Structure 1
Amino acid sequence: MSRIHDMGGRYGDGAINPEPQDAPIFAQDWHARALAVTLACGALGQWNIDMSRHARECLSPSDYMNFSYYEKWLAALTDLLVAQGVLSRADLSAASDAPDTIHPLAARHLPAARVAAVLAAGGPADRDSTVAARYQPGDIVRTRLSGNRSVAGGHTRLPTYASHAEGRILRLHGSHVFPDSNAHGQGEAPEPLYAVAFAAKALWPQAEHPGDEVVLDLWQSYLEPVST
C-alpha cells in the first residue's frame, strides 16, 4: 500500500504552484537554521541519509500533509535524536542555551570552518560489491511490487507508480548502498544500480504525452527479467 509521502502520479493532492526562479533560497530565516541544525546533527554520525529519509516518511499522515518542507525536516530530526538516544523528550523540553553538562558526542561536532568543505565533498554512495550485475543496456525488465521486502513498512526507493512496469536498461551506474537495508541499520548491502527508462504509457494508461520517457535509478533487487 502506498504511504503518504509516495505522491508521484497520485491524484487529489492539489495543484503544483512552482516558485519563480528568482525566489530566495530560504523563504524565512528559520528555514536556514533548520537546514543548519539538521546538518550539524547528521555530522554526529548516529544515522545515515537513508535513515533520515525514512524518519520523514514515518511522520503521521496529518503532519506530513500539513507541515511545510522544513517543518518536516525538524519533526523528523527530533524523532531521530530521540530514537538514536542522542537526546530524550525531556532533554528537548528543557533545552537551554547553556546546558549544565557537555554531551558525550560534543567532540564530534562540525566546526563552522569545515562546513563548506564537508558539503562540497558530499556523501558518495558507490561501493565495491560481490553482487554481480544481472542486466546490460538494452535489456527489458519489469519492476517488482513497491515496498521493502525485508522490513514491513520499511524504506524503499521504488515509487508505487512504477510498480510492475516494463522498462529498458539504459546504463549501469556501478554498485551503490542499498537504501532498503541501510535505512534500518542492516548494513549497506551494496548492489548494482541501473538507469531504467519507462514509456509514459507504461506508467500511466492515460498519459497526456504517451511517447515521453521517465528515467528512474533503480537497484537490482527492484527488477526482474522479462522473457523475450
Structure 2
Amino acid sequence: MRLYNHLFCNRLFCKNISRFVVSVLLLGAGYSFAQAENPSYQDEWHFRIAPYIWAASIDGDLGHRHVGAHHVKSSFSDIVSNVDLSAMIMGEARKGPYSLLFDFMYIDSSIKHGLPPQVPAKEIKASGKVITGFAGVGYTFWENSQARLDIVGGLRSWHTDVDLTLNGGPFNGRSAGVNKSWVDVKAGLRGYYKFNDQFSMTTWGLVGKGGAKSDWDAALLLNWLITKDFTVAAGYRALSVDYRK
C-alpha cells in the first residue's frame, strides 16, 4: 500500500506533514456465508467478511517550516515496533449482479527521523492516528464462467489526528497538530477471475476526490479457498490520499 498523506498544520510551527509512502503486503482471512464465490449470478445473498493485516514499510517525507522537508525510511520491523494499535476489515454482500462493499482501517502509530546538523533540532517525530472507511455499491456489467467485472462507486471517509514534534537543539519541544475529517467520492472497476476450484484472483482500481485533492485505491489479491466457508488471501494494495487545507 502507498499512503500519501498531505496534511497542513498550525502556521506557528508546522508547514506540512508532506508525504508518507507505505508499501504493503496484504494478508487476510475471509469467512463466507451461503456458497463459495462463483462468477455466475446467484439467486441468494452471499456474504464475505475478511479481517486483514499489512506488512508495511514507509518511505516518504516529513516537513517543518523551520527545518524543511526531510526524507524518512522505515522497515517493516520499525513499523511493527511503533504501531500502538491497528484494526482492518473488509466485506462484501452479493446477490446476482448487485454487491455492497465496505472497508475499514484504523492505525495508531508513530515515526521519527534524525535531522542533519545544520537544522536547529536533532529529530522530528510524527505520531497519531488515521481512520478511514469505504462504503459502496457494485454492479456486474460483464461476466462469463470464470471471470466477472463490476463497476463500483461509493464514499470514503477520512479522519486524521497527527502531532509533529521537534526534539533536541534550540527548537526542542516545538510541536503542532492537525485534526481533520473529510469525505471523498470514488468510482472504478473491480474484477474477479477463477483459476480453478481452489484459487482465484481479485483486483480493483478506484479513483476520486471531494474533500481531498485526489484519492485512489488499487489492489491485486490471490485467493485460496481452503473450505467453502474459509478463504485466505495475499497480495499488494496501494491507497493514496492527497489532502490540502
* TM-score under structure 2 length normalisation: 0.23
Higher strand share: 2
Higher helix share: 1
* TM-score under structure 1 length normalisation: 0.25
